[in-house]
């Protein structure tokens, strides 16, 4: 298995969403795996911060250039930000399906399921990373959003790729495992965390700052990543991490005890905490 090159497909609602697990995707690109990013909506109605700030002002004080900017201009800018951010992690296969957002509803855009299924049959991924489809009260995402709708669209698309409809000539494909980003869950529900080194932390900051269309800059990105990645890393006593919840139980040939966890027990709590906080022996 160690020699197998994985095909990984990330299916996200908006251009920015893949950054939730961008470090993990980058790690797999570096390992030689194939990573494809599929963004379902164009993101044209999401996080249009500069425009929203102008609308909050009295009409006489608004900047007409910003207020009158077309949605198409914003979409073009955001998709440029997406490609720049993906490039930070070495991801070159980026596919934007271009469906409407805010809201993205499967009842109104059911054709999105077949479009995602087409990507699955083309990429033939071993692993999918996608939005959480859950809306029950035991989880933070308690209402229908673009995210949960895309999560459900991806789940249905997987089923259609595995069991084609009558008349289809496509070769079926089954995804081995699906993971959802930990941000959509209470941290007590995380199944595992991928540790990010300082170098991958810096790449997450760089990618976050790419989204100038959403009002991001380097200072803001650094602060946000420190909080987001640090809080997840703290769950497993590392500096930074990206958390995941798995769709179904996993099959192993033996007990899956990660080497990193064994090393933590051999190092001891004090040294683990010092490493977590970036302190050297003399610090």
Domain ranges of the chain: 7-253
The pLDDT value recorded for residue 135 is 78
Helix (H, G, I), strand (E, B) or coil at 169: coil
Where are any strands of DSSP class E within 13-53?
Answer: 34-41
Top-level class of domain 7-253: alpha beta
pLDDT band for position 7 (50/70/90)?
A: very high
Burial class for 11, CB neighbours closer than 10 Å (0-12, 13-18, 19+): buried
Q: Beta-carbon neighbour count of residue 83 at 10 Å?
A: 15
Instruction: Please tell me the pTM assigned to this model.
Output: 0.90
Give the pLDDT confidence of 189-242 residue by residue, as tens digits. 999 999 999 999 999 999 999 999 898 999 999 999 999 999 999 999 999 999
Please give the Cα distance from 114 to 158 (Å, whole number).
Answer: 10
The pLDDT value recorded for residue 145 is 85
The pLDDT value recorded for residue 223 is 96
Higher pLDDT, 127 or 282: 127
Lowest mean pLDDT among 76-85, 207-216, 269-278: 269-278
Q: At what angle do helices 71-88 and 198-209 cross, to 10 degrees?
A: 170
The pLDDT value recorded for residue 281 is 56
The pLDDT value recorded for residue 277 is 73
**Maximum CA extent, the chain:** 69
> What are the structure tokens assigned to 28, written together?
């797999």
Do residues 191 and 246 make contact, with C-beta atoms less than 8 angstroms apart?
A: yes
Given a cut of 50, whether residue 283 has pLDDT beyond it is no
């Amino acid at each position: 298995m160690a020699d197998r090159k994985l095909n990984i497909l990330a299916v996200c609602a908006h251009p920015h969403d893949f950054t939730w697990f961008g470090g993990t995707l980058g790690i797999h690109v570096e390992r030689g795996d194939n990573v494809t990013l599929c963004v379902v909506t164009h993101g044209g109605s999401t996080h249009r911060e500069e425009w929203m700030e102008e609308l909050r002002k009295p009409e006489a004080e608004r900047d007409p250039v910003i207020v009158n900017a077309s949605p198409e201009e914003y979409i073009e800018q955001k998709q440029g930000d997406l490609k720049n951010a993906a490039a930070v992690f070495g991801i070159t296969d980026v596919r934007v399906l271009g469906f409407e957002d805010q809201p993205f509803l499967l009842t109104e855009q059911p054709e999105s399921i077949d479009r995602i299924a087409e990507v699955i049959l083309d990429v033939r991924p071993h692993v999918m990373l996608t939005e959480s489809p859950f809306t029950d009260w035991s989880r933070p995402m308690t209402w229908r959003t673009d995210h949960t709708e895309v999560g459900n669209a991806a789940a249905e698309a997987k089923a259609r790729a595995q069991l084609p409809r009558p008349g289809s000539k496509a070769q079926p494909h089954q995804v081995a495992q699906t993971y959802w980003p930990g941000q959509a869950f209470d941290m007590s529900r995380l199944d595992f965390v991928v540790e990010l080194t300082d170098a991958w932390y810096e790449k997450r900051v760089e990618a976050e700052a790419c989204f100038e269309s959403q009002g991001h800059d380097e200072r803001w990105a650094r602060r946000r990543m420190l909080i987001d990645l640090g809080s997840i890393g703290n769950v497993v006593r590392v500096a930074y991490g990206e958390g995941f919840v798995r769709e179904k139980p996993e099959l192993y040939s033996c007990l899956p005890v990660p080497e990193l966890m064994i090393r933590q027990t051999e190092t001891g709590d004090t040294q683990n905490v010092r490493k977590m906080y970036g302190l050297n022996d003399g610090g």
